[in-house]
A and B are shown apart, each in its own frame.
Chain A
Amino acid sequence: MTSAGDRAATQPSFYHTKGKYSGILSWILSTDHKRIGIMYLAAILTFFLIGVTLGLMMRINLISPGRFITAKTYNRLFSLHGVIQIFLFIIPGIPASLGNFFLPILIGAKDVAFPRINLMSWWLYMIGGGIVVLSIFTGGGAPDTGWTFYAPYSIRTTTNISLALCGVILLGFSSIFTGLNFITTIHRLRAPGMGYFRMPLFIWSLYATAWTQVLATPVIAITLMLVILERFFAIGFFEPALGGDPLLYEHLFWMYSHPAVYIMILPAMGVVSEIFPTFAKRTVFGYRAIAFSSLAIAFVGYLVWGHHMFTSGMSDFARVIFSLITFMVAVPTGVKVFNWLATLYKGSIQLDSPLLFSLSFIFLFSIAGLTGLTIGSLSLNLYLHGTYFIVGHFHYTMFGGAAFGFFAGIHYWFPKMTGRMFNERAAKTAWFFMFIGFNILYFTMFILGLQGMPRRYFQYLPQFRTNHIISTVGSWILAVGLIIMFGNLIRAIFKGKKAGMNPWGGKTLEWQIPSPPPAENFETIPVIEHGPYKYD
């Protein structure tokens, strides 16, 4: 391996390989999956920080409603916070950035199956994101419907819904093409010898995610187009005054948006499945169980959208069925959690920052999952549906789950992507602040919810005040953690120590090539002779 490393070290990294273009064009017109991955990562994290800022402003309002911002602004804040964090950060999140960078490398390929479509996806993402941001400053101003764009209010409001929806639709197409690209890549471009059960588990999770992207996203694209048509031509599908039915909108919306939850969480599960074996120095426990549970989650995830609508008006029979299937999601999820824990058992554990983030992923996601069962049961849902309990549950899933998994992945693969190592101590400090701040911020919301605090409200009764203040203080601690984390990583890009080929002692293919990888990834395509996590 040393000799291979020496030879490889003479190859220039993909950052230094001249393509057809130079300067900025060498990035924005590049079809290299690694450059596209890095561009996605930069864009996604930028949008994430915008979304975080909006969230912090909402929390500031809730210390003392009305003192800092008006009710109208508050409605727009929570709508934009949702739209940006969901459609611009967490849905493209891991697959588009880390997935793009590492999918071809992990299966021993030189690029994705359709590199030009890959570049087009990035452009669609940027244009869509740009349009969403533009909608804040033009027309009737930022949308105030919430990220769900529920009809008929989204048809009637004078804010700039149509433009924002155009942006979201473009983001949808970007997502579809990424999914299509990944499925084909995984089927067609695996290195010789890499059977389906020799693929790293991150690839399995990307595979399940890609199918969900492909099979769910068109539904929301057309539904949102119909809302635009409603606004311009009054076609009436979702407008009761014209004979339409707003409930149909909710069904169609959640038919996408529930599977979308799995688009967000599955890749994070894949990331931690890579991290546990590396930091426990053991092969993963229950490889096939983890692989198949990804597919099972993706599949069952299609059938549970109704649990978002228990209070919207549905027959009891439908509600019972939806509730039952919702409980079934817990089974494959539980399978994953126990397999990860069993991987750690008797391992020689190396407690570095990627593992810390992964462990907190399990902890936070378990809380998210268990509260999910609480609100998945009909009787409790009727009481809790309109409250902060949902907000708490949702953020434990998406932030505590998907985003912590994302950060775990960023730390794990940072040396591979940049060739440099961040300061481990700062990373652990950042993790500490984030973990503490996160729990103060969002666990309080469970309590608020049980006490009856309604969600999306600008104002509240005096008895909720203390908890709101605690929650807001938590958001500041979390923000401190984020600042340390991003500061540490950005500093490491320029001043970090050289990382070397394999700083963590990983066994998968990306650790067998130089950091950062050369433009063609592999000098010669590797031949795979065993499973991905072979520790002696």
Chain B
Amino acid sequence: MIEPKMDNPDEIAIKERGDYTGAKMGMWIFLFTEVLFFGVLFLLYSVFRSRYALDFHASAKELDIFFGTANTAILLTSSLTMALSIALVRKGKKGLSILCQSVTIVLGIIFLINKYVEWGAHISSGIYPHSALLEQMSRGKVIFFSLYYVMTGLHGLHVLIGICVITGTLVFTAREIINREDFVKLENTGLYWHFVDIIWIYLFPLFYLIT
């Protein structure tokens, strides 16, 4: 967490834009809202799981644990490269930081490709919301797969947004708008990326490991 010096306002000079602590604070508040955003879905998940425990158990078996595990590893690695890129910028190693950011982007894309293949397999086997096959199954299964699509879909959307933002910081780093003195944009992007990572850490067991 950040430690804004809130108790001693005299120390807070009137800084215009470029206030480091302010920028970090804004980002943390934004992440609070993201937590709530996903929180609603986790709430729905808990309600329905307690209501349809057996169906959830059975449905989870139909998910491919290989994809889930692979994606977990990919995202965790991408978080590492993201964190490295920040450390490198702070040491003034621009080239290496750009490399790390590029690796992060590539890993993000691989994550999405995996997701695409995984979703594609489900959809071609006839399991998607409102499909004839799913409609015949038990209510718990319908809800499980709806939750699966909505939650991983929303998470995937966040990964996609993250990739776009990191592409932006990549350009900024190359142009030295992000440099060893002023790196808060990259740091905030890193916070966002770790948040996306953490959401996945919860999604993975909730969907793949509850069998």
Contacts and interface: CB of A to CB of B under 8 A. Distances in A.
Interface of A: 108-111, 113-115, 117, 176, 179-181, 183-184, 187-196, 214-219, 221-223, 226, 229, 233-237, 242-245, 248, 252, 525
B140 interface: yes
Contacts of B140: 243
A109 B19 CA distance: 13
B45 to A, nearest CB: 10
B143 A180 contact: no
Interface stretch (B31-39, B76-84, B193-201): B31-39
Secondary structure at the B interface, as helix, strand, loop or mixed, is helix
B119 interface: no
A236 B44 contact: no
A248 to B, nearest CB: 6
Contacts of B139: 236, 242-243
B47 A184 contact: no
Most A CB atoms within 10 A — which of B19, B33, B34, B149?
A: B33
Given A115-B17, A192-B14, A233 B130 contact: yes
A79 to B, nearest CB: 24
Given A114-B26, A219-B40, A223-B40, A190 B19 contact: no
Contacts of B47: 245, 248
Which of A111, A214, A243 has the most chain B CB atoms closer than 10 A to its own CB?
A243
Contact of B19 (A108, A113, A229, A248): A113
B14 A189 contact: yes
B159 interface: no
Closest 6 CB pairs of A and B: A243-B139, A235-B146, A218-B36, A234-B130, A188-B22, A218-B37
A188 B30 contact: no
A214 B29 contact: yes
A74 B139 CA distance: 37
A364 to B, nearest CB: 33
B14 A525 contact: yes
Contacts of A184: 22, 25-26, 29
B9 A192 contact: yes
A191 B41 contact: no
A111 B26 CA distance: 15
27 contacts: A108-B14, A110-B16, A113-B19, A183-B29, A187-B4, A187-B25, A188-B12, A189-B22, A190-B12, A191-B14, A215-B32, A215-B33, A218-B39, A218-B40, A219-B37, A221-B37, A222-B37, A226-B40, A233-B130, A234-B130, A235-B149, A236-B139, A237-B44, A243-B52, A243-B139, A244-B143, A245-B47
A531 to B, nearest CB: 14
B181 interface: no
Interface string B134-145: 000011101100
Nearest to B129: A233
Interface residues of B, number: 42
B9 A195 contact: yes
Interface in B1-30: 4, 6, 9-10, 12-17, 19, 21-22, 25-26, 29-30
Contacts of B146: 233, 235-237, 242
Contacts of B22: 113, 184, 187-189
B174 interface: no
A218 B33 contact: yes
A236 B129 contact: yes
Given A187-B6, A214-B32, A221-B37, A180 B26 contact: yes
B150 A229 contact: yes
B4 to A, nearest CB: 6
Contact of B36 (A111, A219, A229): A219
B44 A248 contact: yes
Contacts of A243: 48, 52, 138-140, 142-143
A242 B40 contact: no
A252 B44 CA distance: 10
Contacts of B43: 252
Contacts of B4: 187-188
Contacts of A192: 9-10, 12-14
Nearest to A108: B14
A237 B143 contact: yes
Contacts of A237: 44, 48, 143, 146-147
B33 A217 contact: yes
B150 A226 contact: yes
B14 A196 contact: no
Contacts of B33: 176, 180, 214-215, 217-218
